[in-house]
Chain A
């Protein structure tokens, strides 16, 4: 029986050298829901989302304390297998970052890394994930062309497909649409509502309408602290904290 919550985070403190970027963060990420992280620039949203798949490990000065429980296991425990974690917790970045390989090779990159060699199964993964991100019809005739030839929006959907191809439980998205035009943005938003039937999604966004439109839960960050977290409905209709209200109504930030 799977737990209801994918992530349960308690007392998370994160330092970059002497600078504390996250202060006593506690939050629950429910399964198969979309959780939006909002807050002004530099408040620690990216920092936080990157603790969830230990992408912060790449930064030498970064130090993490506290509990980040994923499916009941502390991912900052010494025994945690980071590779297995990242397989289950995928990530989509702000700028589309497809590899300079073919569309096909981009999608099968993860599965191949994890040992899948069977050509039929790889083909099947490519078709399934590209359909999941509504890109199949656009690229099915150019699977063997470079992914860098795709438009920005297509590249971003390809990156989502690449993340989905390894069968994650969670997909972390750090401002996935901020480099895209409104139409490409809309496509990705539509897609996310469908994806949350099978995946848990955590998304950072600067776009209040986007958070309101697509997410089930919202957390408001300010200066490394979670000021308020609740259902999106509640946060946008009737926030408990005045800071939250000021932010979502655009009076600061």
Chain B
């Protein structure tokens, strides 16, 4: 390498390094700021008690439950449908017109702002299907939001599985289904888990879509037909109505912690299941 080229190389490296450090720095500032303001207020009482005086006092137990409840509903529906759709697109269909249209729809779906999902969820689940303001309506709305993410990431990881694995499997007399389930999908665990984590992140932190579909009740939702309030909704209400900055930060910190826990748990599962496959 000539010295001018080398200098350029070093300069590029420097710029990229500086940008990464800057990104990391922003991230750390946000997390440190929120957790330092929030952590001191996360007490046992905060975690286990119901809110009093609109959330100014007490804890957020029913809110944590509603958040996880709606996210779980979304995931339980989105995982089988999303993975199934991706498998169908990639492993079964020969790329016909219908499939292309469906794919374009899933892609468009991914770019729609969440308030639009909220409006649709309100009109369709809450009103038309008569599910009312409920955890179920919220979960279904979130399901539609995270579906494209899961389809996409599953498709992408299916594409990385070498054709020769499929051939190897078919050549000993496996059906296409057996090949998909026993050879192809196990290679995709990591990619799928990543997609699911992204989906969970989006669902857990979602505000607008659930505002219009879950109601906002502070009660503990027991049945899926009960109304509820998610943590991000709660933060929105607490700040916009000037109820309590302390509780807002505590909720935010807890939300970050929950997302971190879900991420590492999913990563761990992904690594355990995928270990032998990528060794």
Contact = CB atoms under 8 A, between A and B. Distances in A.
Interface of A: 53, 55, 58, 60, 83-87, 90-91, 93, 95, 97-102, 109-110, 113-114, 145-146, 148-149, 159, 162-163, 165-166
Nearest to B184: A99
Given A86-B172, A91-B167, A149-B279, 11 more contacts: A83-B175, A95-B164, A99-B168, A101-B277, A109-B172, A109-B174, A110-B172, A110-B173, A113-B174, A159-B168, A163-B171
15 contacts: A53-B171, A55-B171, A60-B94, A97-B165, A97-B167, A100-B165, A100-B278, A102-B276, A110-B172, A110-B174, A113-B182, A146-B276, A149-B279, A159-B168, A166-B173
Contact of B173 (A83, A93, A95, A159): A83
Contacts of A55: 167, 170-171
A122 to B, nearest CB: 14
B178 interface: yes
Contacts of B278: 100
Given A60-B94, A101-B276, A146-B276, A93 B172 contact: no
B165 A99 contact: yes
Nearest to A145: B279
A125 to B, nearest CB: 12
A210 to B, nearest CB: 22
A100 B173 contact: no
B162 interface: yes
Contacts of B170: 55, 58, 86
A163 B167 CA distance: 12
B172 A163 contact: yes
Contacts of A162: 168, 172
B175 to A, nearest CB: 6
B169 interface: yes
Contacts of B277: 100-101
B140 interface: no
A84 B173 contact: yes
A97 B278 CA distance: 14
Contacts of A58: 166-167, 170
Contacts of A149: 279
Contacts of A102: 276
Interface string B64-100: 0000000000000000000000000000001000000
Contact of A97 (B94, B168, B276): B168
Contacts of B166: 58
Contacts of A87: 172-173
B183 interface: yes
B167 to A, nearest CB: 6
B162 to A, nearest CB: 7
Contacts of A86: 170-173
B168 A113 contact: no
B277 to A, nearest CB: 5
Nearest to A163: B172
